[in-house]
């Protein structure tokens, strides 16, 4: 590495320097030019409560994420060196207060990404974006899954499968319903999926029943503590198998001391530390990950040092690295084409 290259690499990791793209990646809106597509989804109308500032999440993470343009010490590689990773910008949402129309616009945007063979890693946005993304990437006719349903690894304090209500304060494909309608529509295979980290004061005795009825595997935070991390990792591995996998990470699965600036915070029961969450994420290393997202960041509720935005960027870095790792670990050392659905 030349002296100039060294200086450039040093500057690229300073979040306050240069143009604020996600992870300091090139800004290019064409998904055909990348293997991993970084996308902002500034959507708030899927969580029709007062927690409406989640649309500010993508900008907040762009402002700090250059700090995460780093070497992955556990995987022993630089994801930026082994895969083409670009920032495609934000999904345009001109009818931002119209949830149903915004969901379809998000789906259209991600359908183009999937058809180009790129794998998206997104920052939201409320959790309603996951339904919009996955209905475009998985199921009948989807390029990334070869028409198969996706397995879902869902990190959250809540199940988001409350289909007993036909809408959530007016939003139908909402942050409260997406885990249910993706199963009903044939985008997600619940028998190969795991919802993990559910905790807090249950609203009803049967709050987990909708997920069980849909066929999801559910591991509450209490069960995680009782069974231990190794048993839970074995369960995740057995359930997902070799299915195409989508990962969604709601920041409220983390303890409020770790991620204070989130929507629908659960302060009455201890959430994960970053180390615990990272162990679980890395447990799916080597699987066919078609994409992932980080959701429910509330920059207006964050600490002055932007810690929750930094945490969100760190989770994004992990998702990026898990996908890019398919290149790094290929037997011939030349890189496996990660756009392949196999």
Residue 124: alpha-carbon gap to chain centroid: 8
Distance CA 97, CA 295 (A): 18
- The more confidently predicted of residues 284 and 167 is 284
Q: Which stretches within the chain are classed as H helix?
A: 3-12, 57-64, 79-82, 99-115, 128-137, 178-185, 209-214, 221-227, 229-240, 274-282, 307-328
pTM of the model: 0.92
What tens digit of pLDDT does each residue of 93-111 get? Answer: 988 888 889 999 999 999 9
Please, what is the Cα angle at 332 between 327 and 336, to 5 degrees?
Answer: 30
Residue 234: per-residue pLDDT? 97
Per-residue confidence band for 167, with pLDDT thresholds at 50, 70 and 90? low
Residue 14: per-residue pLDDT? 72
Q: Is the pLDDT of residue 216 over 90?
A: yes
What tens digit of pLDDT does each residue of 2-60 get? Answer: 766 667 777 777 777 778 999 999 999 999 999 999 999 999 877 866 577 999 999 99
Residue 42: per-residue pLDDT? 94
Domain boundaries, the chain: 3-328
What would the two tokens of residue 197 be? 């980290």
Q: Which CATH superfamily is domain 3-328 in?
A: Ureohydrolase domain (3.40.800.10)
Question: What strand order describes the sheet that includes 36-41?
Answer: 85-90, 36-41, 119-124, 289-295, 245-250, 151-155, 194-198, 217-220
What would the two tokens of residue 335 be? 């890189």
**Is 144 in contact with 185 (CB distance < 8 Å)?**
no
| β-bridge partners, 198 | 220
Residue 11: per-residue pLDDT? 72
What tens digit of pLDDT does each residue of 299-322 get? Answer: 999 999 999 999 999 999 999 999
Q: What percent of the chain has pLDDT over 70?
A: 92
Hunting for tokens 């002055």 — which residue is that?
A: 304
**Helix (H), strand (E) at residue 152:** strand 151-155
Which of the residue ranges 49-53, 136-140, 237-241, 272-276 would you say has the lowest mean pLDDT? 49-53
Residue 330: per-residue pLDDT? 58
The sign of the CA dihedral 215, 180, 150, 265 is: negative
Per-residue confidence band for 166, with pLDDT thresholds at 50, 70 and 90? confident
Per-residue confidence band for 199, with pLDDT thresholds at 50, 70 and 90? very high
Residue 212: per-residue pLDDT? 96
What is the average pLDDT across 182-196? 97
């Amino acid at each position: 590495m030349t002296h100039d290259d060294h200086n450039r690499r040093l500057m690229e990791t300073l979040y306050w320097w240069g143009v604020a793209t996600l992870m300091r990646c090139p800004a290019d809106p064409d998904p055909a030019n990348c293997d991993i597509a970084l996308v902002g989804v500034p959507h708030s109308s899927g969580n029709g409560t007062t927690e409406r500032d989640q649309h500010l999440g993508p900008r907040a993470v762009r402002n700090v994420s250059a700090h995460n343009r780093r070497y992955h010490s556990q995987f022993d590689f630089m994801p930026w060196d082994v895969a083409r990773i670009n920032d495609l910008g934000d999904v345009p949402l001109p009818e931002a207060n119209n949830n149903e129309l915004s969901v379809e616009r998000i789906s259209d945007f991600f359908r183009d990404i999937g058809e180009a063979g790129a794998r998206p890693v997104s920052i939201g946005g409320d959790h309603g974006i996951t339904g919009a993304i996955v209905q475009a990437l998985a199921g009948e006719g989807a390029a990334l899954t070869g028409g198969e349903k996706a397995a879902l690894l869902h990190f959250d304090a809540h199940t988001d499968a409350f289909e007993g209500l036909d809408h959530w304060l007016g939003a139908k494909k909402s942050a409260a319903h997406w885990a249910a309608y993706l199963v009903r529509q044939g985008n997600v295979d619940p028998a190969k999926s795991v919802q993990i980290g559910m905790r807090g004061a249950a609203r009803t005795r049967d709050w987990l029943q909708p997920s069980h009825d849909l066929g999801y595997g559910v591991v509450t935070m209490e069960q995680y503590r009782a069974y231990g991390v190794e048993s839970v990792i074995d369960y995740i591995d057995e359930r997902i198998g070799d299915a195409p996998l989508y990962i969604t990470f709601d920041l409220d699965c983390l303890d409020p001391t770790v991620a204070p600036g989130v929507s629908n915070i659960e302060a009455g029961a201890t959430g994960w530390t970053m180390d615990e969450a990272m162990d679980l994420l890395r447990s799916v290393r080597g699987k066919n990950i078609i994409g992932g997202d980080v959701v429910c960041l509330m920059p207006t509720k964050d600490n002055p040092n932007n810690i929750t935005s930094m945490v969100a960027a760190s989770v994004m870095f992990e998702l990026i690295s898990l996908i890019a790792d398919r290149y790094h670990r290929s037997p011939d050392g030349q890189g496996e084409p990660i756009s392949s659905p196999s």
